[in-house]
Amino acid sequence: MFVRHRERHRAGRTGWLRASVLGANDGLLSTASLVLGVAAAHATHSNVLVAGIAGLVAGSMSMAAGEYVSVHSQADTEQADLALERAELKADDKGEHKELMAIYVARGLKPALAKQVAEQLMDHDALGAHARDELGISETFRARPIQAALASAGSFAVGAAMPLLVAALAPARGLIPLVSGTSLVFLALLGGLAARAGGAGVMMGAIRVTFWGALAMAVTAGAGSLFGTIS
């Protein structure tokens, strides 16, 4: 009896993981930078919170729309390729057999075995075989626009809520150091978790995200302080 062995690989996570990590990182960093910039411009505590909430809502919608449009374009391309392949299978079945056989020969199979494999796979699922081996389209890596949009919007909101919550609880005088300090900690944790989930080095992932986050917050706070002084 044949038993299918399912291994747990990280490749299947790339779609939602990329969208979630990007969304959370962007939500945390952009909202923290926005809060720091407005606070450095000597705005009132309530104005800082309003700006942060507006940034959370606008950013979540922007991330969802952008991710949906981007991934949907990929899905449209996949569907167009599959439609073309479906038409080619109807028009020239023998030619498609030879094409699939040539792919397997190029990968190292002997012609006789490649022909047998191509025939068996096409008898089972001709379109699926060509989609996978000719076009590189598989169920694992299929474009999923709605999933990507929801993951981006949700993760952005979660990330943005972190500095916003700190800003809401922090006293006016300690808002800037508390928001910047906790945001850097959150960024380090996010970078480390993302690296671990993807199988990369945790320390380097945390350092990379923290460095660029600190730079972004410093530049934004400096701009807010400059324009706050001018006004």
| CB 40 within 8 Å of CB 224 | yes
- Please give the residue that has the higher pLDDT: either 118 or 59: 59
Angle at 141 between CA 135 and CA 146, to 5 degrees: 120
Contacts of 223 (CB under 8 A, 6+ apart): 37
Domain locations along the chain: 13-225
What is the value of pTM for the model shown? 0.68
Q: Could you read off the pLDDT of 52-78 as tens digits, one per residue?
A: 999 999 999 998 898 888 888 877 887
How much of the chain is helix, strand and coil, in % rounded to 5?
A: 85, 0, 15
Q: Could you read off the pLDDT of 8-30 as tens digits, one per residue?
A: 544 445 555 666 777 788 899 99
Report how far apart, in Å, the C-alpha atoms of 114 and of each of 100, 103, 104, 137, 154 are: 8, 8, 5, 20, 46
Predicted pLDDT at 76: 81
Q: Could you read off the pLDDT of 184-216 as tens digits, one per residue?
A: 999 898 888 777 766 677 788 788 888 988 998
Contacts of 61 (CB under 8 A, 6+ apart): 153
Q: Per-residue confidence at 143, pLDDT binned at 50, 70, 90?
A: low
Q: Is the dihedral of CA 113, 116, 120, 122 positive or negative?
A: positive
Q: Is the pLDDT of residue 183 over 90?
A: yes
- The Cβ-side half-sphere exposure at 214, using a 13 Å CA radius, reads 11
Predicted pLDDT at 26: 87
Whole-angstrom Cα distance, residue 95 to residue 73? 30
Q: Could you read off the pLDDT of 77-87 as tens digits, one per residue?
A: 877 877 887 88
Three-state SS annotation for 59-116:
HHHHHHHHHHHHHHHHHHHHHHHHHHHHHHHHHCHHHHHHHHHHHHHHCCCCHHHHHH
144 Rama class: left (phi>0) / alpha (psi -120 to 50) / beta: beta
Predicted pLDDT at 168: 92
